[in-house]
Amino acid sequence: MSTFDCFSNMYDVALKPRLLRTLIRDHVPDEKHPFSNTLEISRVISLVKTHRLLSESVNQFVDPKVVEAWKSNVTSWVERILSLLSSNSPDKCWVGISLLGVTCTECSSDRFLESYSVWFQKLLSFLQSTEGSHLVRVASCASMSDLFGRLTVFPKLKKDASSCAVKVIQPVLKMLHDDYSELIWEGALHLLCTMITSFPFSIQRHYDSIESAIGLKLLSGGCSRSMLKKLAHCLALLPKSRGDEESWTVLMQKILIAINDHLNFAFQGLEEETMRKVVTGLLVPPGRQPPPPLAGFILAEEVTNKAIKRSEQLLMSNVSALMFGCCTMLTESYPVKINVPARLLLALVERILMVDGSLPQMSLPFMTAIQQENICSELPVLHLCSLELLTTITKVLGRQILPHAASILRIITMYFKTCALPELRIKVYSAARILLMSVGVEGESQCNGKVACLVIRKSWIQIVETVSSLIRNIINYLRGMASCLAQEIVNNASADLSNIEKSGGTVNGLNSNASTGAPLLPSHRKRKHSSTTSSLQEHDEGGGLGVEYPKNRLLTPISLRIAALEALEALITVAGALRSERWRSQVDNLLIVVAIDSFKEGSAIEEIGLFLLNEPAATATDLQLAALHALLASFLSFNRVRPPYLAQGLKLFHRGKQQTGTKLAEFCAHALLTLEVLIHPRALPLGDYNHTFGEAQRNLPDEYTWRNNSTTFGLPQVGNDTLNTDDDLFARWMGNDNEVDVPLAKNTKYTEDASEVATFPDAEMTAVEDENILNSDQPGDSAVQFQEPISFTTSIPVAEARDSVATTKIVSERIVSDGTMPDSEDNHMESGRGISVNKAFQSSPLQTTEGSTIVHEYALTLNHGSSLDNEDPFPDIVDEDPDDSGSEEA
């Protein structure tokens, strides 16, 4: 290649061999040149990866010369690497090994197949040698596992690869056993995991030795937490290599026994005997032999002896690692179905969660204050793990949770009452949320109500008893915290910090919770002016004044608030419509307030988020997003009346949508799309029933024309939509009663009538049982059918036209014409009376006096006609409100 042999552009294949050659010549170290600049290596690798310099992928149009050049360059690249491998200096060795690993993943299949066995031998020799620097060993583990990773792509090589894999296991185990660097262990574990998942046959013979090696490492302590997690993960994967139910079950049993032993030791004198007995009984069913302990007999002995001498801290870190292993075993995929010991796991979780560090009366003399202190300091971690396990169980059981749902619910509710640490609360929330989702509608019954109360209660004060006051507290809490944050940051950053520390550090929060809760209440009362119903305006006001909130409040971590919001969202999603009267309005109120606040305080919280740094995941934006998610759920789950805060909510969504490019905007756009269906509801017929039937069987030709928007009466079809959507209309009507032509007294009467009228389609739907009455009812009925169109139309002629042609035929047309009306508020025929009433309200300002009197008259006839047979309120599709209609009748 001459100096001026230029290539066309950066995509030209000819570039690649050249570039590779340059890299080899100038940047890759060789035996002669000393290796100094580490930056060069990373540049080489990034170039190789970006331009896929080793891929040798060409199509047939490429000049064969280029192909040849590329091939020879790659060959020289490989040669260079191999020469580096045989170098004496460790750094060059290390570079060689690392580059070989990258080559394994990047090179063409042909080249890989051709030379993998050579590479394998080279790497194996490094794995087997006991000397060599840490970096070399780590790199050889990584490169080896990549080599095997690449091998999995070729199923044909399975057998060959397995025989290679067998050779690796022994040195890896040796590494685990001999070395004392976590980096090396990490590499070795990763290699082991690759073997377990990809080449299970290679594991077979070494299954037990691997298990005991990892078990020993796990239990003997001296590893960091992340290392423990990796060990537990690898252990949990181990049964996959056999893939039968038995090895899974045995390993699970071993792990649980190990956990239980640790707990028995740690919880001495802290718990009731019963729980311990239950768990132990379930662990080893009577009449069965327990499996050998996790790390083998002798080792286990040794380990437990050591452990007893060591601190509780070690115990706890072991337990948490083991529990993490449990979770991994439960979540990792497994080839066969498994009998998950759900009851045992739940009992274990319950056992741990029941221990809060308090001493039962009887065991006082057996525990010193220092012992108690030690245990209590570790309990939160333990609780966290067991909550995680609980969440995992709930997820794993999925739809098969039924037999255990009750006990899970009990555990959660029990724990809600006592739990005070924010991190733990977050876990509880998520557990509760998952439970809600998996038990489904049934949650509707009080159980969800219960959870709802608890979900709400936990964050707040336990003293208060009624649900409503609890929720009001929450409202204040959530909102107050936000404003509090803003103020703190402005005023006194250091005070803030101490606050945060305090909130993070409340151990055994019952007391601290109560004490911090106490100051919260009075201030809340002050602001509330003794009002019992918390209206939005008030909250708004409160939000505005929020800057003045006392400083001595605990800060709620954002993530906790997010978790609370998510739990509420789940609750609304699952049980929003069912027996929710007690808590619903308060939750809705809470949600809109929080959402509005999140927009207000957003920036301020962001700052503290940056300031904190230890909570990088949860920022104010996340909170905002969570709030809007919950808000959307609350809007959509309304089915009888219009969501009271729809207007505000829409505004928020619009505002959020403007922040282009953010997740928030994305979600807001989605929310608006979803709400559009709420605003312009539609029933979606499969075909045009009325049309086809009308044409074919019943001769209702007018209908067809109406459907085509050329109505005989010139009824503007768009009218429906505009009336429905315009929220302002509603507000205007409510605000300007007097402007309506009808006198006020009459007006109120009219509204009553209107609501009566509005409900009538529902009455229609509920078809009075007695057919006779139905017939005699006909005039009244037709009048009813008139009512609604009138309430929607804006012109007198329409009303007149209707008046004059009150034949049944027309009636049917009219029904059709406003046919979307009963359905319109909700797709699922949940149009409730409340909605209809709203609509009547909305539309009425456009009503002329004449129109409304007509309405009135018809309503009267309607009443007359219906009073005979319809003593009862007409049940709505979804909602009925007996009181309401009763008074109307009167």
Residue 788 · residue 811 · CB < 8 Å: no
Minimal distance in Å, beta carbon 864 to another protein?
Answer: 18
Q: Is 750 left (phi over 0), alpha (psi -120 to 50) or beta?
A: alpha
| Paired tokens of 687 | 């075909």
Minimal distance in Å, beta carbon 529 to another protein?
Answer: 35
Minimal distance in Å, beta carbon 72 to another protein?
Answer: 25
Minimal distance in Å, beta carbon 95 to another protein?
Answer: 9
Nearer to another protein, 406 or 731 (CB): 406
DSSP string of 137-186, one letter each residue: HHHHHHHHHHHHHHHTT-GGGHHHHHHHHHHHHHHHHHHHHH---HHHHH
Nearer to another protein, 516 or 639 (CB): 639
Minimal distance in Å, beta carbon 644 to another protein?
Answer: 18
Whether the CA torsion 428, 431, 433, 439 is positive or negative: it is negative
| Paired tokens of 173 | 């185990």
Q: Which residue has the tokens 């969440």?
A: 391
Whether the CA torsion 482, 485, 487, 489 is positive or negative: it is negative
Nearer to another protein, 793 or 812 (CB): 812
Minimal distance in Å, beta carbon 183 to another protein?
Answer: 9
Minimal distance in Å, beta carbon 314 to another protein?
Answer: 26
Minimal distance in Å, beta carbon 781 to another protein?
Answer: 7
Nearer to another protein, 409 or 560 (CB): 409
Q: Tell me the C-alpha distance between 663 and 681, whole Å.
A: 27
Nearer to another protein, 152 or 861 (CB): 152
Residue 557 · residue 422 · CB < 8 Å: yes
Which backbone phi and psi does 102 adopt, to 5 degrees?
-65, -40
* CA angle at 185 for the pair 174 and 333, rounded to the nearest 5°: 105
Question: Distance of alpha carbon 731 from its chain centroid, rounded?
Answer: 36
711 DSSP assignment: -
Minimal distance in Å, beta carbon 850 to another protein?
Answer: 26
Nearer to another protein, 5 or 769 (CB): 769
Minimal distance in Å, beta carbon 825 to another protein?
Answer: 11
Which backbone phi and psi does 271 adopt, to 5 degrees?
-140, 165
Helices (H), 642-795: 646-657, 663-679, 689-693, 701-707, 718-725, 727-735, 744-765, 771-776, 778-792
Minimal distance in Å, beta carbon 468 to another protein?
Answer: 21
Nearer to another protein, 542 or 761 (CB): 761
Q: Tell me the C-alpha distance between 126 and 175, whole Å.
A: 12
Q: Tell me the C-alpha distance between 840 and 845, whole Å.
A: 9
What is the chain's length? 890
Nearer to another protein, 316 or 784 (CB): 784
User: In angstroms, what CA-CA distances link 629 with 288, 558, 635, 669, 670?
Assistant: 51, 15, 10, 12, 10
Q: Which of 579, 595, 583 is nearest to 452 (CA)?
A: 583
Nearer to another protein, 329 or 626 (CB): 329
Minimal distance in Å, beta carbon 475 to another protein?
Answer: 24
Q: Which of 395, 225, 444 is nearest to 317 (CA)?
A: 225
Q: Tell me the C-alpha distance between 424 and 427, whole Å.
A: 5
Nearer to another protein, 187 or 656 (CB): 187
What single letter denotes the amino acid at residue 404? Answer: H
Residue 43 · residue 27 · CB < 8 Å: yes
Minimal distance in Å, beta carbon 713 to another protein?
Answer: 17
Residue 550 · residue 519 · CB < 8 Å: yes
Q: Tell me the C-alpha distance between 38 and 27, whole Å.
A: 10
Nearer to another protein, 270 or 347 (CB): 347
Q: Tell me the C-alpha distance between 540 and 566, whole Å.
A: 23
Which residues, in sequence order, are CB contacts of 294 under 8 Å at separation 6+? Answer: 211, 212, 215, 218, 219, 254, 255, 257, 258, 300
